[in-house]
A and B are shown apart, each in its own frame.
Chain A
Amino acid sequence: MKPKAKILLVDDDQDFLEMHEAVLKNHGYDVLTASSGHEGLEKVRAEMPDVIILDLMMEKYDTGFSFSKEIKNDPLFKKIPILMVTAVAEATGYRFSLKEDGYWMKTDDFLNKPVMPDVLIGKVEKLLAERKE
């Protein structure tokens, strides 16, 4: 019944890639993984995913922010919803917002790690439904 949506996971932590992949696959999604922003961009261009689940990576030259910016500034990909996940929202001082307001970071949705499997699925379903409209 459920459409086979394609989800791209971008995370530099192998554990999160694999556990999120297991949960999503178990719920019938197609899953692509990338362990860096660079690899993630390649996969977006090649596979055109329906939803991107992006970790706010902490590496100096390769953050989730720069990845997210590239996607949102690209007319081809900017409609792809991005779900931001992070383990360290408070520590970095970054805050997410669903609206543009200058101080908080605009994103389509966000979650703190660890992500509960049912919450992850719920968010993905919501983003897919919004995209349909």
Chain B
Amino acid sequence: MSSEARILVVDDEMGIREGCKRALSAEGYCVDDAEDGNAGLEKVKENGYDLLLVDLMMPGMSGLELIAKIHLIDPEIILLVITGHATIETAVEAMKKGAYDYLPKPFSPDALIAVVRRGLEKRSLRQEAKKLYWERDQRLLELVNERSRMRTIIGCMADGVLVANMEGRLVLWNAASVKMLKSRGFDVAGEPLEYYIDNQAMVDAIKEVLSAKDESFSMISREIEVEGDPKTVLMANIAPIRDEKGNILGAVSVLRDITQLKEIDKIKSQFVSMVAHELRAPLAAIKGWLEIVITGEGGGDEKQQKQWLERARDRSDSLLALVNDLLEINRMEAGKIAQKMEPVQVTDIIRKILDFMKPEAEKKNITVIDKLPENLPLIQADKRDMEKLFMNLITNAIKYSTEDGAVTLEGEVEGSYVCYRVKDAGIGISPENSDHIFDDFYRADDERVRKITGTGLGLTIAKKIVNSHFGRIEVESKVGQGSAFSVCLPCEERKK
């Protein structure tokens, strides 16, 4: 015990107090004294001690009373009872109240020191034990917290988590995994995987990890298909849990639903192959024409060869138009086009386009009939977009019109919309085609339109423009009678 141990002697006999003090100070202890119970109690409250020597027979507060009170203040103080005339019973009573030992009077300094030393040792052991208990409680608390923390973390995860032990039994999981595997729910831990997971591929993958022999093996990634409506695809990353010797204790599986990614991937490759076709075919045609002129393998005189070169040029023009349209769509989809919205009189824009297209229409002897009323409401729109939109529709109307036909422009107010109609008396669109004409690269599968060139993106762009103006575009058509494209755009609100 350290020399700093603090001891208080409470006794009404001055001789005892002095004797104890002398003997204990000589041992290096720090010793105080008090002549009665009340003074002793005050000193304990004030200073705090490791050990008290208490005389049981004192005037005023009795030793027993003092012991009881001190025990309430600090149960860890070692209490030694000094008894003179008292019987053993009183000492036993004192022990019951929390005294550690007793010392009958008279006692020798050696006996005193021995008892004090034992008492202090006891105290030091108690304190040590208390510290250990405290540490153990802390660890248990940490463990409980850790467990709760882990459960909360995996519970909150959008990814599915499954932990299996060495025997292939499920020990930990989260709600996301139950949902992803479309399982009926895992109620208790410890059942074999098959009991809960109705997906052989998933179970097999976990077992493969559990039975891995190779020590460097760290993880497998596998796509798991889950039947059901809709069918889903999961990406499962499964890794072994190892002990310090490298033995496998279990396996952790983290699941992610990649159904949408797969879908996007599919759409992307469809788009790429579509674009590849649309770009490759015209390029091949251009090269083909150049080749037969350069090699002379097509024969033909100079005039004929010039015509072929013109064909190559026409094809490169349409390829250029296609690339421009693709870039336009890409810009629109990426939202890179900063639309400049302003009140626009769309009728004026349409009339300018009609002027511009006049020579084209006259070439096919097509009559353009302008039935647009004056003073239609303004529309909050991007001017450039409106030009592009009606340029597309009017060009189409002329392109798909039969010779000597007519293209008619109409406009009217319908509720809070202004509707423009571009009508042609052309070949018309069959119902199965009209369902698809706004799709990318869709071109009517019809022998009569085969010689009409186009990128197949004009109406895709038109629809995107109309959508970005919160309007709608529709087509009405009868084969052999012509088509009418209606564009309805919300009026600019004017309070007048």
Contact = CB atoms under 8 A, between A and B. Distances in A.
Interface of A: 12-16, 18-19, 22-23, 25-27, 35-36, 38-39, 58-62, 87-88, 90-93, 113-118, 121
B450 A14 contact: yes
A113 B284 contact: yes
Given A25-B299, A26-B299, A19 B292 contact: yes
Contact of B298 (A12, A22, A88, A113): A22
B295 A118 contact: yes
Nearest to B441: A58
A14 B291 contact: no
Given A61-B445, A91-B276, A91-B277, A113 B450 contact: no
Nearest to B275: A91
A15 B289 contact: yes
Given A23-B298, A117-B291, A88 B308 contact: no
B297 A18 contact: no
A88 B284 CA distance: 10
A23 B288 CA distance: 10
Given A19-B308, A35-B447, A26 B276 contact: no
Interface in B291-321: 291-292, 295, 297-300, 308, 311, 315
Contacts of B315: 15
Given A26-B297, A92-B273, A87 B284 contact: yes
Given A14-B450, A19-B298, A91-B276, A62 B445 contact: yes
Interface in B271-291: 272-274, 276-277, 280-281, 283-285, 287-289, 291
Contacts of A38: 447
Given A22-B298, A91-B280, A118-B295, A16 B288 contact: yes
Interface of B: 272-274, 276-277, 280-281, 283-285, 287-289, 291-292, 295, 297-300, 308, 311, 315, 445, 447, 450-451
A67 to B, nearest CB: 14
Contacts of A91: 272-274, 276-277, 280
Contacts of B298: 19, 22-23, 26, 117
Nearest to B453: A14
Nearest to A24: B298
A113 B295 contact: no
A108 B289 CA distance: 26
A22 B277 contact: no
Contact of A14 (B274, B295, B451): B451
B451 A114 contact: no
Contacts of A60: 445
Contacts of B289: 15, 19
A87 B277 contact: yes
Given A14-B451, A36-B447, A23 B297 contact: yes
Contacts of B299: 22, 25-26
